[in-house]
């Protein structure tokens, strides 16, 4: 019995599934975990009406298909206990040990991540996901199995929730499963999401498949028989498996190549499993001797394996009736890694950890995935980097000395240069590919030899950002361009500071600037000059920091007229969707009967107004001290302990901010989540309040809440 084909899985069924590959399993511990999980989830039901505990059991059964260790199976049984029941970390640790408690806690934290929100929050949450992966990859294996079972049973959810989960699955979890080497899981996750996001297209492909089978018979059986016949003639032993590709895989190929279904040829895939690598190459020879190979469709991942340990030979041939057939050839050990991916590191057989020579060390694998992420300073650059690294297929190119450089498909000689070293990339002026000089925007192909020509004094150009595709190259180019801009900003900032000091009758000295930098939490005086030049910090604020008496003379801005750029008869108010604050970049939008509404420049609502430029007005906040009257909503998660809410309110009051509204939106045994509306002077005041709250140990999370659905 397999997990996928099982109906209701009993405790004995699960133990049997584990015993199939691990006779030495700790049966008693698994049974205790089952009983504990069932007790904790008692009375809870899923959207379908089934008892909730059927879900953790199904997730555990899915993980037995990957032959995973007892700790991972038990984590699956308990993965929702800390999140959704009265269970706690300390109790799980006491009953099942620290290792399992850490794993369960890791899955709980991933469950709390909302991966399809605003760009800034999405970037931060994907960072957390990658950190969780780096601590213990089994956390992600449980989360992927959890998502797979939820997608299999998604029909019972509300339609809007189905669409949200499906998009999140398509954007994050399916590519992650593929990058981890679990291609079967990636394909199923994609297809389940495709069923929700575009059911008409999926049904259309399925109908055409049925028509094709009715007209041509079972093509898979016939081609499989042809391959077996050729292998028998060559005296080669191997197992042959064939299947039609998943509907989403076919749909994606139709979109990429702009082909109709009738013109799409390679919709069938075949796998040949043998004993040794030598046999793989002999089988390849037999296949190519019988059928004509399709040019450009051959990949040897045995001699050049993927970073997740995947090894196989891929070839596409013109088979029976001229149909293109994709064939993968690999050994049994390679196949285990191809099925389990990085999870093969934990796989058991006969009660012992399998020493598969092709399984990669998860710690090394995760370091290759995350390498360079920390160099992406802003949210957009980080998301661009991580998605490129997770989604891209690879090409392998050679240095003149024969070293292999692995790059994503679509990479250019510039990407190649930065992959060798940042210094080589920065000084690149041209490149030779297979001995011929080529433009830097040339797309590299598998097996090409690349020589980088560098020149001293060369600096990255701004146009290079659009040429490169790797996150590493993009980050390095942006960093270099920022350094060039920095020199200009330092000079400009120095001049602005000189004028501000003179206007206040004070002397601008190196010591004064160093002191101001320290008081403003800036690394040094040079960085302070640069930030003044970039308008991150005003020169007036620097002077006021050193000499507060100069600021006190400054009149407070009238809250009724806080912005510049309005006509005399135009009214003004802040947009409720983004709640802009003094100090933030804003734009005005005219609304009939409502005057001018100020939106933050990064407000999501502005996207719908891009085609109405006549309504846009250039606004800016007036310089000076604004009163604390601008409401902002904070989303707080705090521990459910005595006195915590009082301390939070006191902290806000200590920073001269007034609480105008407070409401609870989620109550859990351990945590409360609440929305607090505070009245502030501006963006700097907001940062002060949020920093103080973030430092409070009882505050688990604090974010600035924005709601694009709130219309002006």
What does the pLDDT look like over 258-306, one tens digit per residue?
555 555 556 778 999 999 999 999 999 999 988 888 877 788 888 888 7
What does the pLDDT look like over 224-252, one tens digit per residue?
898 999 999 999 999 999 887 788 877 77
Q: Are residues 113 and 130 in the same domain?
A: yes
Q: Do the domain assignments include residue 17? A: yes
pLDDT, residue 625, reads 83
Estimate the crossing angle of helix 11-19 against helix 54-64, to 10 degrees.
10
Q: Do the domain assignments include residue 242? A: yes
pLDDT, residue 11, reads 93
pLDDT, residue 119, reads 47
Q: Do the domain assignments include residue 128? A: yes
Q: Is the pLDDT of residue 29 over 90?
A: yes
Q: Are residues 20 and 110 in the same domain?
A: yes
**pTM for this model (two decimals):** 0.53
Q: Are residues 180 and 274 in the same domain?
A: no
Q: Which two tokens stand for residue 23?
A: 């006779």
Q: Do the domain assignments include residue 192? A: yes
Per-residue pLDDT, averaged over 538-547, amounts to: 84
d(CA 387, CA 474): 13
pLDDT, residue 130, reads 62
What does the pLDDT look like over 575-634, one tens digit per residue?
999 999 998 889 999 887 778 999 998 888 888 887 787 888 888 888 878 888 999 999
Q: Tell me which of 71-85, 123-137, 609-623 is least confident.
A: 123-137
Q: Are residues 182 and 260 in the same domain?
A: no
Q: How far apart are the first and last CA of the chain?
A: 58
H/E stretch holding 177: helix 174-179
Catalytic pick from 27, 83, 91, 602?
83
Per-residue pLDDT, averaged over 553-581, amounts to: 82
Sign of the torsion formed by the C-alpha atoms of 71, 72, 77 and 78: positive
Q: Is the pLDDT of residue 308 over 70?
A: no
pLDDT, residue 322, reads 63
Percent of the chain with pLDDT over 70: 83
Q: Are residues 530 and 581 in the same domain?
A: no
Q: Are residues 55 and 175 in the same domain?
A: yes
pLDDT, residue 4, reads 39
Which of 252-261, 274-283, 405-414, 666-675 ranks highest by mean pLDDT? 274-283
Catalytic pick from 13, 26, 27, 84?
84
Q: Are residues 222 and 165 in the same domain?
A: no
d(CA 281, CA 293): 14
To the query of whether residue 160 is one of the catalytic residues in this protein, the response is: no
What does the pLDDT look like over 337-375, one tens digit per residue?
777 766 665 555 555 555 556 555 555 655 655 554 444
The residue segments making up the domain with residue 43 are: 11-197
Q: Are residues 575 and 542 in the same domain?
A: no
Q: Residue 697: which CATH number? A: 3.30.70.260
pLDDT, residue 475, reads 79
Q: Do the domain assignments include residue 590? A: yes
Percent of the chain with pLDDT over 90: 23
Q: What is the pLDDT of the chain when averaged over all its residues?
A: 81
Q: Are residues 257 and 270 in the same domain?
A: yes
pLDDT, residue 123, reads 53
d(CA 94, CA 84): 19
Q: Do the domain assignments include residue 375? A: no
**Residue 318's pLDDT band (boundaries 50, 70, 90)?**
confident
* Angle of CA points 673, 674, 678, to nearest 5°: 145
pLDDT, residue 550, reads 67
Question: Which residues are CB-contacts of 495 (< 8 A; sequence separation ≥ 6)?
Answer: none
Contact 425, 407 (CB under 8 A): no
**Residue 6's pLDDT band (boundaries 50, 70, 90)?**
very low
pLDDT, residue 274, reads 94
Q: Is the pLDDT of residue 379 over 90?
A: no
Q: Are residues 609 and 637 in the same domain?
A: no
Q: Residue 248: which CATH number? A: 3.30.460.10
Q: Do the domain assignments include residue 374? A: no
To the query of whether residue 84 is one of the catalytic residues in this protein, the response is: yes
Q: Are residues 191 and 321 in the same domain?
A: no
H/E stretch holding 49: none
Per-residue pLDDT, averaged over 313-323, amounts to: 78
In order of 211, 215, 242, 253, the CA distances from 207 in angstroms are 6, 12, 20, 17
Q: Residue 136: which CATH number? A: 1.10.3210.10
Q: Do the domain assignments include residue 456? A: no
Closest by Cα among 56, 73, 55 to 17: 73
Q: Are residues 128 and 251 in the same domain?
A: no
What does the pLDDT look like over 451-463, one tens digit per residue?
999 988 788 887 7
Per-residue pLDDT, averaged over 64-85, amounts to: 89
The total of structural domains in the chain comes to 5
């Amino acid at each position: 019995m397999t997990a996928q084909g099982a109906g209701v899985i009993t405790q004995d069924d699960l133990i049997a599934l584990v015993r199939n590959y691990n006779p030495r399993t700790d049966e008693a511990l698994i049974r205790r975990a089952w009983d504990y999980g069932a007790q904790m989830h008692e009375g809870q039901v899923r959207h379908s009406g089934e008892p909730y505990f059927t879900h953790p059991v199904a997730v555990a059964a899915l993980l037995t298909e990957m032959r995973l260790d007892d700790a991972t199976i038990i984590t699956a049984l308990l993965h929702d206990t800390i999140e959704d029941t009265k269970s706690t970390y300390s109790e799980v640790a006491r009953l099942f040990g620290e290792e399992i408690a850490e794993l369960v806690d890791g899955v709980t934290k991933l469950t709390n991540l909302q991966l399809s929100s605003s760009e800034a929050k999405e970037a931060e949450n994907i960072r957390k996901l990658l950190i969780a992966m780096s601590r213990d990859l089994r956390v992600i294996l449980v989360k992927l199995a959890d998502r797979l079972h939820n997608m299999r049973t998604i029909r019972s959810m509300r339609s809007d929730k189905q669409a949200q989960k499906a998009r999140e699955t398509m954007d994050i979890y399916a590519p992650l499963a593929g990058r981890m080497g679990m291609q079967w899981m990636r394909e199923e996750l994609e297809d389940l999401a495709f069923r929700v996001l575009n059911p008409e297209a999926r049904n259309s492909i399925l109908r055409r498949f049925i028509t094709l089978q009715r007209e041509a018979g079972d093509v898979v059986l016939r081609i499989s028989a042809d391959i077996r016949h050729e292998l028998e003639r060559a005296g080669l032993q191997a197992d042959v498996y064939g299947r039609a590709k998943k509907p989403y895989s076919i749909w994606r190929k139709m979109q990429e190549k702009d082909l109709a279904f009738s013109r799409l040829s390679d919709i069938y895939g075949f796998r040949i499993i043998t004993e040794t690598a030598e046999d793989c190459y002999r089988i390849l020879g037999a296949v190519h001797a019988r059928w004509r190979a399709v040019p450009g469709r051959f990949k040897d991942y045995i001699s050049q394996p993927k970073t997740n340990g995947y090894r196989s030979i891929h070839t596409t041939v013109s088979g029976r009736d001229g149909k293109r057939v994709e064939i993968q050839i690999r050994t049994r050990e390679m196949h285990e890694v191809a099925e389990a991916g990085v999870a093969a590191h934990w796989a058991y057989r006969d009660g012992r950890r399998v020493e598969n020579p092709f399984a990669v060390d998860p710690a090394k694998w995760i370091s290759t995935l995350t390498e360079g992420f920390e160099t992406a300073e802003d949210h957009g650059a980080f998301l661009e980097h991580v998605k490129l690294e997770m989604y891209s297929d690879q090409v392998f190119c050679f240095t003149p000395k024969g070293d292999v450089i692995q790059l994503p498909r679509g990479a250019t000689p510039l990407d190649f240069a930065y992959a060798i070293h940042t210094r080589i990339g920065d000084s690149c002026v041209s490149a030779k590919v297979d001995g011929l000089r080529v433009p830097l925007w040339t797309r590299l192909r598998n097996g090409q030899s690349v020589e980088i020509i560098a020149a001293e004094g060369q600096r990255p150009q701004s146009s290079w950002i659009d040429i490169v595709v790797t996150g590493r190259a993009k980050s390095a180019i942006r960093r270099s361009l920022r350094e060039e801009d920095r020199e200009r900003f330092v000079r400009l900032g120095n001049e602005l500071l000189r004028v501000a000091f003179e206007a206040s009758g004070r002397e601008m000295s190196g010591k004064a600037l160093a002191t101001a930098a320290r008081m403003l939490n800036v690394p040094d005086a040079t960085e302070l000059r640069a930030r003044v030049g970039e308008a991150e910090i005003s020169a007036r604020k620097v002077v006021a920091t050193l000499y507060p008496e100069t600021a006190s003379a400054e009149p407070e801005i009238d809250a009724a007229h806080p912005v510049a750029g309005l006509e005399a008869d135009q009214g003004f108010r802040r947009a409720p969707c983004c709640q802009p604050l003094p100090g933030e970049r804003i734009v005005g939008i005219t609304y009939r009967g409502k005057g001018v509404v100020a939106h933050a420049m990064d407000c999501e609502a502005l996207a719908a107004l891009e085609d109405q430029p006549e309504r846009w007005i250039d606004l800016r906040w007036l310089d000076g001290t604004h009163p604390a009257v601008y409401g902002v909503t904070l989303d707080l998660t705090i521990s459910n302990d005595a006195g915590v809410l009082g301390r939070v309110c006191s902290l806000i009051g200590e920073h001269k901010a007034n609480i105008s509204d407070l409401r609870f939106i989620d109550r859990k045994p351990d945590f409360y989540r609440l929305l607090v509306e505070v009245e502030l002077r501006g963006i700097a005041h907001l940062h002060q309040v949020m920093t103080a709250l973030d430092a409070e140990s009882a505050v688990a999370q604090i974010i600035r809440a924005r709601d694009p659905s709130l219309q002006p």
